[in-house]
């Protein structure tokens, strides 16, 4: 291709591109935008009617006086009776000597076996690489857990714990035989 022909072709392309940038097309764009604005109608949904306020009448005679002497004595009786029931349950546990396995939580213990000694079933409990023999009547765990039953595969105990209201209640717990306990 000749140098003169390629230069002329380049000038023609440049002139064509400059002609495309001319302001002649802006009028059409402005016309279309104004037409679209006229055709677009905003739609606003109506707001619902507010709820009517209905005042309640206050009747002082029907309400109980929170500071009445009768109400206070009832509350005190209820509190002292629940404390006495709760204290009856936990008082003997606080007055006895603690056993060695009561310093460990139940989840730190593992039942690794059982045997029979003198006609009585004995569970073998492993804690911190030490082996303990546990019989009915012994205590385990940190919740005053007393052994109620020893079977070949399980130790059942009764614990005394506080519920969400702070009351002392009894619940049952169990340690099951763990064959792979190391």
- Residues sharing a CB contact under 8 Å with residue 142, sequence separation 6 or more, in sequence order: 102, 103, 104, 105, 106
Is the residue at 63 inside a domain?
Answer: no
What's the total number of domains in the chain?
1
Is residue 121 domain-resident? Answer: yes
- Which pLDDT score, from 0 to 100, does residue 16 have? 60
The b/e string for 137-157 (b: 16+ C-beta within 10 A; e otherwise) is: ebbbbebbbbbeebeeeebbb
Residue 11, in any domain of the structure: no
Q: Is 51 helix (H, G, I), strand (E, B) or coil?
A: coil
Tell me if 117 is assigned to some domain: yes
Count CB-CB contacts under 10 A for residue 177: 17
Asked if the structure places residue 82 within a domain, the reply is no
51-61 per-position pLDDT tens digit: 898 888 877 76
Q: What's the pLDDT score for residue 92?
A: 83
Q: Confirm if 162 and 168 have CB atoms less than 8 A apart.
A: yes
Task: Give me the CATH number covering residue 146.
Answer: 2.30.30.830
Give the total residue count for the chain.
182
pLDDT digits (tens, 9 = 90+) for 68-79: 777 777 777 776
Give every residue of the chain whose pLDDT is below 50, as ranges: none
Instruction: DSSP for 124-174, please give it.
Output: EEEETTEEEEE-TT-EETTTTEEEEEE-SSEEEEEEEEE-TTS-EEEEEEE
Residue with tokens 């204290």: 87
**Whole-number pLDDT of residue 12:** 61
pLDDT at 4: 53
pLDDT digits (tens, 9 = 90+) for 139-155: 999 999 999 999 999 99
The domain of 161 spans 95-176
Question: In the prediction, which pLDDT does 116 show?
Answer: 92
- Quote the tokens at residue 26: 């802006």
User: Quick check: is 28 in a domain?
Assistant: no
Residue 147 lies in a domain: yes
């Amino acid at each position: 291709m000749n140098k003169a022909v390629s230069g002329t072709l380049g000038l023609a392309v440049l002139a064509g591109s400059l002609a495309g940038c001319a302001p002649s097309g802006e009028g059409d764009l402005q016309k279309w935008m104004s037409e679209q604005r006229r055709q677009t109608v905003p739609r606003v949904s109506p707001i619902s009617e507010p709820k009517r306020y209905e005042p309640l009448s206050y009747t002082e005679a029907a309400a109980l006086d929170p500071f009445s002497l009768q109400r206070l004595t009832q509350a005190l009786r209820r509190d002292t009776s629940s404390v006495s029931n709760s204290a009856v349950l936990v008082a003997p546990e606080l007055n006895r000597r603690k056993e060695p396995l009561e310093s460990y939580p139940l989840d730190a213990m593992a039942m690794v076996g059982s045997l029979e000694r003198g006609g009585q079933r004995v569970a073998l409990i492993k804690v911190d690489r030490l082996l303990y023999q546990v019989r009915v009547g012994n205590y385990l765990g940190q919740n005053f857990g007393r052994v109620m039953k020893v079977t070949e595969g399980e130790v059942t105990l009764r614990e005394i714990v506080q519920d969400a209201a702070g009351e002392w209640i009894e619940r049952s717990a169990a340690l099951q035989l763990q064959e792979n306990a190391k």
